[in-house]
Structures are given as structure tokens and as C-alpha cells.
């Protein structure tokens, strides 16, 4: 049985553990600094096992030593967004938290694959790579798949079709500078431009960019966790089952898309070794400019943690 560790027992972490348990594909360890929180949630999930039919083990702990031999470690630890707070505003607090987490992962699970979820995601992913000795194919951030799923959801609602037929693509940073790509998105193979007018496409693109903030605005004291946990688990499944799925994720770029020394969302092939290939799309000059602007925004955050 494979083993996945989830760092953080908040809404995103705990819901991720629940989804993993119900897929029955790996034993799960949930780590949190709050005593009793991961233990209680893990016990609750074990009580649900006879009803939901899963036989995997769920361990809640405050001890990082329990993540030993993990195949994948998911980092959700950190503070969440609240109304009026941008993802980048979380940087000062969350960089301190995650640097400690990365050190513990390197100590107890040096052969694991690291998936970052904590915001600001691209900067945290870069920090994970630079503060550890992990290879770049084993460190990546989740955001691109979540943004693409939100884009697909809005497209389906706009044209009143099944979400199963929508293929949506979002590149760039996981934030206000993300780059939804209508020209690389389709419905049952039909280009969006054949199904939606320019005004509708622009409306859906803008709602995708602001989707996280929209949810925070409704929830007041929290942020999204159902869709983020679904994206996390989809990526874990692709790795554990070696499916070679093409998924947008924040990865370290070393010349791809003309970008160097940065983590940014681009389509990649996921398999048992983590990021197995970075796919370079043919982008228009306008799309490349938007991607460059997104990269510049991420670089501003990287500069703050590098000084």
C-alpha cells in the first residue's frame, strides 16, 4: 500500500484525507501542530470506513516522524485568505510556516514527492525547491488544475452543457495574474469561439480569475476547500497510478516558455516520478505577454523571500 502524508488538518487537509480514504488507494498520515485535531479527525474518518467501504489506515499525529516512507507529501499548512486579503498578503506568515515543514519533510521523507498547496502557491513552491535538496520533478504546486477546473465549471454553466465535455486550460501564477486560455479550451473538441461570443468568454475568464476571492467573500472567515482537495487528489491519483495525465501545475522552469528560475503554472505530464515532462504550448504573442506579466508578479514575491 502506498503512503501519502498531508501536512495540515484544516479544511483543505482534512477534506483531502477524506477523499483519499474514499478512493482506497493509499494509507494516509495527517499532521498538524494543534494537539488532538488530526487525531480526532482521523478517528472520525476511521469510524466512517465500514459505511464507505475503505480499508486504508488513517493516522492523525503531531509528530513529523510519522511521515517516514511517504510516497507523496501534501503541504496545506498555513493561514487562509480572508476578505480583502490577497494570496500574496499571506506570504510573510506562510513562508515561515512552510520552511519549517519542508525541513521536516527533508528529514523524515527525503524520497517523497512534495505537492504544495499553501498560498501564495507559486512562491511557496519555489521556496520548497530552493530550501531543500529535492529534484525539480519532485516538487510542484497544485494551483493550475484548480484554476482550470473553475474555468471549466464556468464554461459549462455559461453554455448549459455537461462539465464532462469541457477541457479548459489556465496557465501562470495561482492568483490574480493567472492566464486562462480560451483558445486552448474546448467543449467536446469544439473551440469556445464556436460556442460563445467574445463578451461571454471575457465574462467567464474574469470570473475564473476572481473565483477564489468570490468564495472568500461569501465565507468571510475561510476559503475554498472542496475543489482544492479534489484537485490535490486528482494529482495524487495520477502519480500513484502512473497514468501520465496532462495536468497544469506550478513547476520550476529552466528555459521553458522563455522563463528561468521561477515556478509557474504550465501543463505537465504526471506519472510515478512526479513531473515527467513539461509541455510547451504554442502561444500567441498576446498570451505570451500575459504569461510574462504573470511571471513578473510571481518574481516580485520571490524577491521578497530572497532578501
DSSP string, the chain: -EEEEEE--SHHHHHHHHHHHHHT-EEEEEE-SSTTHHHHHHHHHHHHHHHHT----EEEES-GGGGTT-SEEEE--SPPP-TT--GGGGHHHHHHHHHHHHHHHHHH-TTSEEEE-SSSHHHHHHHHHHTS---GGGEEESHHHHHHHHHHHHHHHHHT--GGGEE--EEB-SSTT-EE-GGG-EETTEEGGGTS-HHHHHHHHHHHHTHHHHHHHHHSS----HHHHHHHHHHHHHHHTT--EEEEEEEEEESGGG-EEEEEEEEEEEETTEEEEE------HHHHHHHHHHHHHHHHHHHHHH-
pLDDT at position 87: 63
Quickly state the pLDDT bin for 90 (edges 50, 70, 90).
confident
User: β-strand 58-61 against 72-75: which pairing, if any?
Assistant: unpaired
pLDDT at position 80: 81
Catalytic residue selected from 11, 47, 174, 184: 174
Q: Hey, where are the domains in the chain?
A: 2-142, 144-306
pLDDT tens digit sequence for 33-51? 999 999 999 999 999 999 9
Summarize the confidence of residues 139-148 as an average pLDDT.
97
Which CATH number applies to 2-142?
Answer: 3.40.50.720
Q: Which CATH class is domain 144-306?
A: alpha beta
Other CB atoms within a 10 A radius of the CB of residue 290 amount to 19
Task: Clarify whether 184 is annotated catalytic.
Answer: no
Q: Please, what is the average pLDDT of the chain?
A: 96
Other CB atoms within a 10 A radius of the CB of residue 230 amount to 16
Q: What is the 3-state secondary structure (H, E, C) of 89-108?
A: HHHHHHHHHHHHHHHHHHHH
pLDDT tens digit sequence for 248-261? 999 999 999 999 99
Peptide bond into 22 cis (omega under 30): no
Q: Above 60 in pLDDT, residue 245?
A: yes
The three cell numbers locating residue 157: 454553466
pLDDT tens digit sequence for 60-84? 999 999 999 999 999 999 988 777 7
Quickly state the pLDDT bin for 305 (edges 50, 70, 90).
confident
Please state, for a pLDDT cut of 90, what percent of the chain lies above it: 93
Instruction: From 181, 213, 177, 212, select the one nearest 296 (Cα to Cα).
Output: 177
The Cα–Cα gap between 218 and 83 comes to 9
Amino acid at each position: 500500500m502506498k503512503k501519502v502524508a498531508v501536512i495540515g488538518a484544516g479544511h483543505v487537509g482534512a477534506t483531502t484525507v477524506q477523499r483519499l480514504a474514499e478512493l482506497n488507494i493509499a494509507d494516509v498520515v495527517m499532521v498538524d501542530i494543534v494537539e488532538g485535531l488530526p487525531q480526532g479527525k482521523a478517528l472520525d474518518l476511521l469510524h466512517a470506513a465500514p459505511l464507505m467501504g475503505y480499508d486504508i489506515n488513517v493516522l492523525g499525529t503531531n509528530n513529523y516522524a510519522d511521515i517516514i516512507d511517504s510516497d507523496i507529501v501534501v503541504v496545506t499548512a498555513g493561514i487562509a485568505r480572508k476578505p480583502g486579503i490577497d494570496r500574496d498578503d499571506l506570504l510573510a506568515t506562510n513562508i515561515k510556516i512552510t520552511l519549517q515543514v519542508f525541513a521536516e519533510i527533508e528529514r523524515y521523507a527525503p524520497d517523497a514527492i512534495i505537492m504544495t498547496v499553501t498560498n501564495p502557491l507559486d512562491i511557496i513552491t519555489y521556496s520548497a525547491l530552493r530550501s531543500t535538496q529535492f529534484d525539480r520533478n519532485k516538487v510542484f504546486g497544485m494551483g493550475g488544475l484548480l484554476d482550470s477546473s473553475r474555468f471549466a465549471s464556468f464554461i459549462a454553466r455559461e453554455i448549459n452543457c455537461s462539465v464532462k465535455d469541457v477541457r479548459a486550460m489556465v496557465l501562470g501564477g495561482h492568483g490574480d495574474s493567472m492566464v486562462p486560455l480560451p483558445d486552448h479550451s474546448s467543449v467536446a473538441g469544439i473551440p469556445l469561439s464556436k460556442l460563445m461570443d467574445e463578451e461571454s468568454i471575457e465574462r467567464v475568464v474574469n470570473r475564473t480569475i476572481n473565483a477564489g476571492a468570490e468564495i472568500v467573500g461569501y465565507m468571510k472567515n475561510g476559503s475554498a476547500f472542496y475543489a482544492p482537495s479534489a484537485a490535490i487528489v486528482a494529482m495524487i491519483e495520477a502519480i500513484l497510478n502512473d497514468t501520465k495525465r496532462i495536468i497544469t501545475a506550478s513547476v520550476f522552469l529552466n528555459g521553458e516558455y522563455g522563463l528561468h528560475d521561477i515556478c509557474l503554472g504550465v501543463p505537465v505530464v504526471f506519472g510515478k516520478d512526479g513531473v515527467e515532462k513539461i509541455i510547451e504550448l504554442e502561444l500567441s504573442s498576446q498570451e505570451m505577454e500575459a504569461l510574462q506579466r504573470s511571471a513578473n508578479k510571481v518574481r516580485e514575491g520571490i524577491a521578497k523571500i530572497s532578501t
